[in-house]
Amino acid sequence: MSREQAVRAALGDASVRKYLGANPVTRERVTPVDDKLARVSFFDGPRIVLEVAVARDGRVVSQIVHKPGDVRVGGEIAQRPAVLALLLVAFALAAASVPFRRMRNLDVLALAAFAVPVVLMNARLLEASVYASYPLLAYLCIRCGLVAFRPRPADAPAQPLIERIVRPRLVAVGAAAAAAALVLLAIPGGLVGDVAFASMAGATKLTHGLLPYGHLPPNELVHGDTYPLLAYAAYVPAALVTPVKTGFDQLDGALWVAAAFTLAAAVAMYRVGGLRLAIAWLTFPPVVIAASAGANDVVAAACIAWAAALFVHSGRSAAALSAAALVKLAPFAAVPLWVLRARGNGLARAVAGVGAVAGAVALWVVLLDGTSGMRDMANAVSFQAERGSLQSLWALTGADTAQVIVQAAVATLVVAGAAQAWRDPALARDPRRICALAAAVLLGAQLAANYWSYTYLCWAFPVVAAALLTTPRPARPRAPAFPAPHP
């Protein structure tokens, strides 16, 4: 429908008129959700007030109300200014190094600056939040690409900041405190969102022998079935305890699942870069927000973190990355380079790891619903490629040509990265450079997509941190993939 038709249909709904009567607006923006729904976003100056999904027949099928003081996603406590500031201090303390004039500290600053889009979004400044995000994404993408493709110079002497000012025993205490704080902010302090609701509802369908695709309540969830199967399977343990069929059911199980996967990722980050990297993960604001929303982003992040931690085990590492891709689609782009960096028997094990995970998921789908289940899953997941949203630089600016150019550049990066990992043994053996290449691909996919959220940083953070926040030492036989975080 046209812009005018969509606005007219939205204003024709009695509940929309009532809300806008108490909350005046000055302008509207219309974007397609898909080929069946249009989103009408109402603004009061720069602040978003209401979002309405309108069907082709003019019905309002969904609304998102933006009230002053509400947070966009996740628990409110974790996003209070004082708590957010404490998280950033702990993150910087764990991630930064001395002397301060180092590129690593600029990387830390760029990561910490993602708190700005969070604050702007919670102030209902949606457009400003998007504009503030993309330069940071582009910087980290380019930085990781340079680390991957440019031969690594010798590292100058440096010391993690946390080890300069905190005794070693207290670092372990700090890690335990960060884990405890994460759990408290995520579970009693959390607030589930639509992704958590969809995850629990889909998991409940799985416990009854049904695929979620086409079976989730359409009157409560718009495209809640758009994720690969493992995004729902991860929540099955919680769904067995507290089944979810409607939005009125108990949804806290999603918070328990998200907290558990966040802690599992912290263990992997410890293996990658020691306690300080685990603390950085547990205090990174987008991670805390995603965990406090029960979002599946931390499920994918845990799989990617373990792919990095198991780097020297090509089969298990590739299987972990494949699992991440079957939670969130974007990690599929990093699978080729992750597989092709292996050599000899390692390559066969990597291919087998990918095949085992993909085969197990395909078999599960076929057992539940035959070959039509595969078709239903593909049709549902394909929404990711067509969705429209104002949470995209390309939608805000109408720069469709620029988006196509960025998408082509990312596709080129995927092919060139996989080819280079295959051709360059030095790159293939270096976990830091391979993680940097994977991070550049994941961040590039986020840059090129039709929709972006700061919770997506969760599943890029493990490889970004492995690439930019660790200091490698010369490899030795059977050494851990990521040894001590400083020489």
**Residues 86-106 pLDDT 10s:** 999 999 999 998 888 888 899
Q: What is the pLDDT of residue 92?
A: 95
Largest CA distance in the chain: 70
Q: What is the pLDDT of residue 339?
A: 96
DSSP string spanning 383-451?
HHHH---SSSHHHHHT-HHHHHHHHHHHHHHHHHHHHHHHH-HHHHH-HHHHHHHHHHHHHHHHHHSS-
* Cα distance between residue 321 and residue 382, in whole Å: 20
Quote the DSSP letter at residue 78.
G
* Cα distance between residue 2 and residue 403, in whole Å: 23
The token pair that represents 425 in the structure block: 């043994």
Q: What is the pLDDT of residue 157?
A: 65
More confident call, 223 vs 294: 294
**Residues 218-254 pLDDT 10s:** 666 666 678 899 999 999 999 999 999 877 788 899 9
Q: Mean pLDDT for the chain?
A: 90
Q: What is the pLDDT of residue 487?
A: 36
Average pLDDT over residues 190-202: 89
Q: What is the pLDDT of residue 475?
A: 41
Q: What is the pLDDT of residue 378?
A: 85
Counting other chains too, the contacts that 213-222 makes at CB distance below 8 Å and 24 or more residues apart are 213/373, 213/376, 213/377, 213/379, 213/380, 214/376, 214/380, 217/245, 217/246, 218/61, 219/61, 220/246, 220/247, 221/194, 221/197, 222/33, 222/37, 222/53, 222/61, 222/62
Which residue, chain included where needed, has tokens 């990781």?
A: 144
- 484 pLDDT tier (thresholds 50, 70, 90): very low
* Cα distance between residue 365 and residue 374, in whole Å: 6
The token pair that represents 428 in the structure block: 């293939």
| pLDDT score of 387 more than 80 | no
- Classify residue 360 by burial, with Cβ atoms within 10 Å: 0-12, 13-18, 19+: middle
**Residues 271-287 pLDDT 10s:** 999 999 999 999 999 99
- 153 pLDDT tier (thresholds 50, 70, 90): low
3 state SS of 167: coil
Average pLDDT over residues 289-301: 96
Please list, in sequence order, all residues whose beta carbon lies within 8 angstroms of the beta carbon of residue 73, skipping any fewer than 6 positions away: 193, 289, 290, 293, 295, 453, 455
What phi, psi does 97 have (nearest 5°)?
-140, 165
3 state SS of 305: helix
- 474 pLDDT tier (thresholds 50, 70, 90): very low
| CA-based torsion, 208, 214, 215, 217: positive or negative | positive
**Are the C-beta atoms of 460 and 400 separated by less than 8 Å?**
no
Average pLDDT over residues 312-325: 96
Average pLDDT over residues 187-191: 90
Q: What is the pLDDT of residue 288?
A: 97
* Cα distance between residue 421 and residue 441, in whole Å: 13
- 440 pLDDT tier (thresholds 50, 70, 90): very high
* Cα distance between residue 114 and residue 446, in whole Å: 14
Range with lowest mean pLDDT among 200-204, 212-216, 424-428: 212-216
Give the number of other Cβ atoms within 10 Å of residue 263's Cβ.
19
Average pLDDT over residues 35-46: 90
Q: What is the pLDDT of residue 36?
A: 82
Report the chain's C-alpha Rg in angstroms.
22
Q: What is the pLDDT of residue 486?
A: 41
**Are the C-beta atoms of 68 and 50 separated by less than 8 Å?**
no
| pLDDT score of 35 more than 90 | no
The token pair that represents 146 in the structure block: 């340079």
* Cα distance between residue 360 and residue 327, in whole Å: 14
Q: What is the pLDDT of residue 284?
A: 97
The token pair that represents 97 in the structure block: 């190094």
Q: What is the pLDDT of residue 485?
A: 42
Average pLDDT over residues 157-164: 80
Please list, in sequence order, all residues whose beta carbon lies within 8 angstroms of the beta carbon of residue 243, skipping any fewer than 6 positions away: 204, 207, 249
